[in-house]
Structure 1
Amino acid sequence: MQHHFMSRYFICLLLLAQTARAQQSKTGYAGFIADARTHRQIEGAVVQSRQTNIAFTSNEQGRFYFASRLPASDSLHISALGYVPKAIACKDIREELNIHLEPDVVNLREMTLSASGNKPLHNVGQLDMKIRGLNNAQELLRMVPGLFIGQHAGGGKAEQIFLRGFDIDHGTDVAITTDGIPVNMVSHAHGQGYADLHFIIPEVVDQVRFGKGPYAADKGNFATAGHVALQSKERLDNSLVKVEGGQFNTLRTLAMVQLLQDRGRQKQGMYVAAEHLRSQGFFDAPQNFSRTNLFARYQQMLGKRHQLDASIATFYSKWNASGQIPERAVADGSISFFGAIDPSEGGNTHRTNIQTRLRTQLSENSTLSNQLYYTAYHFDLFSNFTFFLNDPVNGDQIRQKEKRGLWGYNGLYKHYGVLGRNTHTFEAGLSLRADATRNSQLAHTKNRATLLQQQQWGNVSEWNAAAYIRETVQLPYRITLESALRFDQFIHAYSDKLQDTRRQKHTAIVSPKINLSWQASNKAMLYLSAGRGFHSNDARVVVQTNGREALPAAWGADLGIQAKPRNNLVLQAALWYLALEQEFIYVGDEGIVEPLGRTRRTGLDVSARYQPLRNLYLDADLNYARALALDVSKGEDYLPLAPRFTSSGGITYKKNTGWNGSFRYRWMGNRPANEDNSLVAEGYFVCDAGLAYNFKRIELMLSAQNLFDVRWKETQFASTSRLQQEPDPVTEIHFTPGTPFFLKAGITITL
């Protein structure tokens, strides 16, 4: 009953906002904000009245809309991180503004808090990207405050993800996209929501947009704990060549070449990037890791109103892995801390993405975007988690394999306008995604060569059609209200080749969302978010359970504040709540279902960004989460591997030329490894450092991971296993060791 009431409330709210569209006024100011050197649009620039302090934020296309005319004595102050601010007298404004800002060092004094963008985490994310940058693929997800990752399969498999009290495995509760293409794989051979980001070259990433909680209407499946949206660069500022080498026979080469560029008019642009990485790794058994990435992007203006964008990316990776090892084998000296019980683990994978998007400026205030994409994917992984538990003779090695075709469509209509004396934005989105796997299998194997038993074998087909509407209104008293409603329809199907059966189920879910922000002053902004999200379950589980709990919902709320108590200090804090109707997990490693029942998580996130000197920046994130299972007795209600306390941060010295340096830390506290907390996953504290010297066109770099050579366990699991000489199985912590001290040097030449 409550769900029906909320849905009707949101529908009425959106319809009222749309009906009021006819009352729009054409008073006010509109304009476009771009980089003076590259002519690229600037998102998140703040346009503020000097006399009234009313402020509005530029959107993704760099456009802004100021609702009302100001007195001739007033002026507009335009600011953006990393740019020299500009002031324009209102008496001099005669037509639409075309504003170009000159790049400058990042200055926290120029960061303006504004509720109009209704993206409370945008300021922090934008600041981190400009100061810290992206030096490796792992940094892509670590740009999200409070998000931790761990690798436990030789560097080739997707990382394990932790966020807001979730062990997200490889992506069950965080939705990840790149240039609009979904990264998460539904009904994957290794686990639901599997999100492998290794096909992305970090240097081509321009933006890492993220949000926490289920509050974004344009994010659907898996967006419960949060979402991450990566965007590649539209154009390169310069071509470059980079070479990096380090310990463990590690070598990385990168070339990025601008092929077409029209700097002045931005009519067209094209660039290509190629990366190759190989390493033996730090394990006793060589990893023989190798990865090759290729990427190309093309952009063309078609007349004055149409922009065509297309890109293609492909990668191939292969590796050996030492897997997860039992603590008892290290304690008794059977293997070293970096040893292996089954060194024949490993695998290979490749992925190709193709996308094209057409953006159309329908009118001064309306835009339309249509995108088509296709992904071809292959995955082949050999693992051994229990050693000789089930097969004392041949061992328990398993093979997980699939081939997949994924195609989809994203459509978005946006209208920006004025409602009385207030600006508003209306969005309508439509998406379609279709996944089809061929020969998804789970098999018992030996030494990667011998097939002992086919345990699961079949084809998965899954369709997801979704639509949403979202209305954002700038209300009086510097309040911004965003209300949205999303609808998702699924078709899950599985053809079982072992049983020669095919089953199909239809499911659907409605997700209301609301975001409210209030700019209390120039120094403080408060926000409240609430909404419903979901993560789908594996299609094989859905048909097996006759559609029960196919789309378990997540209800969440955030209450937060962003403040600037000093001009060079930004603070952000949020209390949050997230309840899942069912944590119903398909464990791809064993081909079984684990229903965990209802769960609840509460927590606190705190972030601080401080600039004591012109080129010196300090940052810190502290996170606390309390995760509980609700349908079990007290004392047995711990959620395995759910992080409780985490923190990350560092100090960065950054200049355009000359010396640059950084020192960073990440800390994860102890956490329960099983339901009664009788086994504990040990925490860790690891530090990294980097030093670089920039000449005009050459940069020399030296970096050290795990600077103090701490012995730490990157991933840990409470598992039951048996070694070959053991008479009985043992349940204990199994772990993958973290990177030891790792020194790397490099050179970048800008062409």
Structure 2
Amino acid sequence: MAQKVQLSGSVFSDKGKPLPGANIVTENGLGTSSNLLGNYNLNLNPGIYTLNISYIGYETISREVILEQNQNSSLNFYLTESQIELSDVVVSSNENENTEKISAIDIKLRPIQTSQDILRMVPGLFIAQHAGGGKAEQIFLRGFDIDHGTDIALSVDGMPVNMVSHAHGQGYSDLHFLIPETIEKVNFNKGPYYADQGNFNTAGFAEFKTKSFLDKSSVKLEGGQFGTIRSVAMIDLIEEKENQDLYIASEFYLTDGYFESPQNFSRLNLMAKYSGRLEDNSLVEVSASTFSSKWDASGQIPERAVESGLISRFGSIDDTEGGETSRTNLNVKYLKALDENSTLSQQVYAIDYKFNLVSNFTFFLEDPVNGDQITQSEHRKIYGYNGSYKREDRIGGLNLLSELGAGVRYDDINDIRLSKTINRREVVSDLARGDVDEYNLHAYLSETMFFSPRLSLTGSIRFDYFTFNYVDALKPNYEREQVSQGIASPKLIFNYKASNNLNLFAKGGIGFHSNDTRVVVAQQGEEILPKAYSADLGATYKPFPNLAINTALWYLYLEQEFVYVGDAGIVEPSGRTERKGIDISFRYQLLDWLYFDTDLNFTDPVALDEAEGENHIPLAPTFTSIGGLSFQLDNGLNGSLRYRYLGDRAANEDNSLTAEGYFLMDAVVNYTKPKYQVGISIENILNEEWKEAQFETESRLFNEPEPVSEIHFTPGSPFFARVNVSYFF
């Protein structure tokens, strides 16, 4: 057998920018994709090959290559922007790469104008906002009511979004610091199968990557109903230099909202990012960003108050709710190609975060005179480091891809508190107050063995070590409570490319989410890192060039855990749970200019420690679907018509209360030219009455003699139209 030779090089845009994730594939379906630097390596037998080089949104090119025995070759490729073609999606023997390619199409076709749109990029993920627009969204995925991020790991440019031991709940994830127009890529997947993902990666993960450079500068102004104004500016500062890029971006958002009591919501985002490609084949990226927001809220309202006519659907019981928050980030990343087969990546980041939230969920249940308003607040600093080393080797007839990673995260949380308040100002008493220091060190090793170009097996192991420190400020004497514990998370992924158009995969692994530090010390370190055991079996299939199907049959078991209920300052056990389901995604290019997509997600969630009939998991979704039509015409018209469907689900354990589902449609139409764009977007075009967030809550209104337990909800947006105009330069 002839000794394989190596073909290496880089893939660039016609403007000289690297294209990570480009496909380099031979006529018989063998190939690879470019890394973050745009570099690729391909090991082939000597011979004559026709290579097809493709990238979503760029014109595919073909090149004939002659590879001679005992002689490695180097070849660079340059691609030109063009219409999006689903045929450019090449089925890989790497299941994660297939998901990333589908995501790349979604992000180019779907309009992203809000933080909610960002999260909806993940197939099967639903969100709900229930506190004035400034609070982090409630998240639903794979049969989980994830609350604000307990069971999904979120990051932006490698910086964590999830907040450990947060004042309002474990894993609290606020993405409002991210300007939607700056997003270049969303990498996501479901299940705990990836060694570089740690804490909170049980139901899945999503990594948001901002643009390294701008194709052009732009200014956008948007206005709409309910006193809504939004402006976005993205300015390229050094467009003359080929290997260096620097841009700044800003966003200002203002709205009163559709409630009877104005939300007075305002948010300001600022960002700057530098990217430099050095002569030694390395990449340096430095970014800084800051955001602040404040808002008023009408809160969740009880059904009985609306049905009795006490208030309308958009009224409130306590409209003094609201909050303010801010986050400032500094992020430095360095990526170095050590040689043709290995890369080194390093990152350091620092975050300063403030949070203050005023809520009233039970009205006059506890205090019939002053009401039950609470305030949750904290100020934290986060410092972190992530490093990884990747290497490709060939040992005998076996190709190997190795990755070794390590990192540390330190959360310094000062004056984290839960207080009873009146009129958003007067503090009556502190229910919980203290300081938290939490450390998370991690290391992982991942090894992918390519037994053939079509068959691979990835085995990995991750180890996390936590140290939890808490000083309770309400205790009479100073006492530092400390607990430490480690957890190992093995994972296994099998890929088999049965044909050029079909890849089969099987995945198994263990993930976890940590519990709040205040829970950890209260439980003396017992059951503080509950594990999630999961398995997936699925396929990526392209029966013909313009149709891509991704499907998975999955199972997830979650151990007993203790959860810190931030709204009440108590520890609450949740017991063991089991979820199983099927996810199906379709991407279909109907015509050159017309695209269809849909995601269907079925789940059966069960609480294992409860009796039959009382084992429902409150608010866990059982059927969800998102999809729609997108179009891009040559004359500049483009847009989409999209739907969201969430089925009815149990609101409590015995299903005596139902959280009502909904079906909504949204539309966007733009007219885009090289120098400008005008457009209109409409949310809920059918003007449906729907409940965005729903909870079973026991509450008492001011004149009620006894409390009532029923559905409390936040009404969803009515018909909401906005127009926008953009100028490109």
TM-score (norm 1): 0.94
Out of 679, 683, 699, the residue aligned to residue 721 of structure 1 is 699
Which string of whole-angstrom CA distances, capped at 9 and with x for unpartnered residues, describes residues 79-106 of structure 1?
2222222222222787211111222111
1:577 is displaced (CA, Å) by 0.6
2:55 paired with 1:80: yes
2:649 paired with 1:671: yes
Contact 1:367–1:415 (Cα < 8 Å) also in 2: yes
Contact 1:245–1:744 (Cα < 8 Å) also in 2: yes
The 1:448–1:25 alpha-carbon spacing in structure 2 relative to 1, beyond 3 Å, is farther
Give the corresponding residue for 1:127.
105
Which string of whole-angstrom CA distances, capped at 9 and with x for unpartnered residues, describes residues 166-213 of structure 1?
000000000000011000000000000000000000011111110100
Give the corresponding residue for 1:315.
291
2:21 paired with 1:44: yes
Give the corresponding residue for 1:327.
303
Out of 475, 479, 482, the residue aligned to residue 451 of structure 2 is 475
Out of 384, 388, 392, the residue aligned to residue 368 of structure 2 is 392
Give the corresponding residue for 2:333.
357
Matched AA of 2:22 = A
Moved more, 157-166 or 85-94: 85-94
Contact 2:588–2:597 (Cα < 8 Å) also in 1: yes
2:409 paired with 1:433: yes
Contact 1:205–1:230 (Cα < 8 Å) also in 2: yes
Query: Secondary structure of the equivalent of 2:237?
Result: strand
Query: Secondary structure of the equivalent of 1:283?
Result: coil
1:695 is displaced (CA, Å) by 2.1
2:73 paired with 1:100: no
Which string of whole-angstrom CA distances, capped at 9 and with x for unpartnered residues, describes residues 474-509 of structure 1?
222601211111000000111000014321100110
1:241 is displaced (CA, Å) by 0.3
The 1:25–1:137 alpha-carbon spacing in structure 2 relative to 1, beyond 3 Å, is farther
What percent identity do the matched residue pairs reach? 48
Which string of whole-angstrom CA distances, capped at 9 and with x for unpartnered residues, describes residues 95-135 of structure 1?
21111122211111232111146434222211111221422
Q: How does 1:556-571 map to 2 (within 5 A)?
A: 556-571=534-549
Give the corresponding residue for 1:516.
494
1:585 is displaced (CA, Å) by 1.7
Give the corresponding residue for 1:634.
612
The 1:657–1:439 alpha-carbon spacing in structure 2 relative to 1, beyond 3 Å, is farther
Matched AA of 1:344 = T
The 1:710–1:70 alpha-carbon spacing in structure 2 relative to 1, beyond 3 Å, is farther
Contact 1:320–1:344 (Cα < 8 Å) also in 2: yes
Matched AA of 1:185 = M
Matched AA of 1:541 = V
Unaligned runs of 5+ in 2: none
TM-score (norm 2): 0.97
Out of 359, 367, 370, the residue aligned to residue 343 of structure 2 is 367
Distance 1:89 1:422 in 2: 26
2:9 paired with 1:66: no
Give the corresponding residue for 1:415.
391
Contact 1:120–1:527 (Cα < 8 Å) also in 2: no
Give the corresponding residue for 1:220.
198
Query: Secondary structure of the equivalent of 2:103?
Result: helix
Moved more, 582-591 or 613-622: 582-591
Distance 2:66 2:296 in 1: 68
Q: How does 1:738-749 map to 2 (within 5 A)?
A: 738-749=716-727
Give the corresponding residue for 2:30.
54
Moved more, 483-492 or 655-664: 655-664
Distance 1:536 1:116 in 2: 29
Distance 1:118 1:332 in 2: 52
Which string of whole-angstrom CA distances, capped at 9 and with x for unpartnered residues, describes residues 274-319 of structure 1?
1100001100000000000000001223442332211101001000
Matched AA of 1:210 = F
Moved more, 173-182 or 87-96: 87-96
The 1:75–1:311 alpha-carbon spacing in structure 2 relative to 1, beyond 3 Å, is same
Out of 630, 638, 660, the residue aligned to residue 682 of structure 1 is 660
Distance 2:206 2:304 in 1: 38
Distance 1:631 1:61 in 2: 50
Matched AA of 1:199 = F
Query: Secondary structure of the equivalent of 1:140?
Result: helix
Out of 89, 98, 121, the residue aligned to residue 64 of structure 2 is 89
Query: Secondary structure of the equivalent of 2:535?
Result: strand
Out of 286, 289, 295, the residue aligned to residue 271 of structure 2 is 295
Q: How does 1:591-610 map to 2 (within 5 A)?
A: 591-610=569-588
The 1:548–1:734 alpha-carbon spacing in structure 2 relative to 1, beyond 3 Å, is same
Query: Secondary structure of the equivalent of 1:261?
Result: coil
1:368 is displaced (CA, Å) by 1.1
Matched AA of 2:717 = T
Moved more, 459-468 or 447-456: 447-456
Query: Secondary structure of the equivalent of 1:677?
Result: coil
Contact 1:214–1:531 (Cα < 8 Å) also in 2: yes
Distance 2:493 2:5 in 1: 27
Contact 1:55–1:116 (Cα < 8 Å) also in 2: no
Out of 558, 564, 585, the residue aligned to residue 563 of structure 2 is 585
Distance 2:644 2:563 in 1: 29
1:657 is displaced (CA, Å) by 4.7
Matched AA of 1:716 = Q
Stretches of 4+ aligned residues off by more than 4 angstroms: none
Give the root-mean-square deviation of aligned CA atoms: 1.5
Out of 150, 154, 159, the residue aligned to residue 132 of structure 2 is 154
Distance 1:147 1:83 in 2: 28
Contact 2:335–2:344 (Cα < 8 Å) also in 1: yes
Contact 1:669–1:683 (Cα < 8 Å) also in 2: yes
2:179 paired with 1:201: yes
Query: Secondary structure of the equivalent of 2:438?
Result: strand
Matched AA of 1:296 = A
Distance 2:255 2:569 in 1: 32
Distance 1:543 1:121 in 2: 40
Matched AA of 1:567 = P
Contact 1:76–1:89 (Cα < 8 Å) also in 2: yes
Matched AA of 1:709 = N
Unaligned runs of 5+ in 1: 1-23
Distance 2:381 2:96 in 1: 36
Name the count of aligned residue pairs: 723
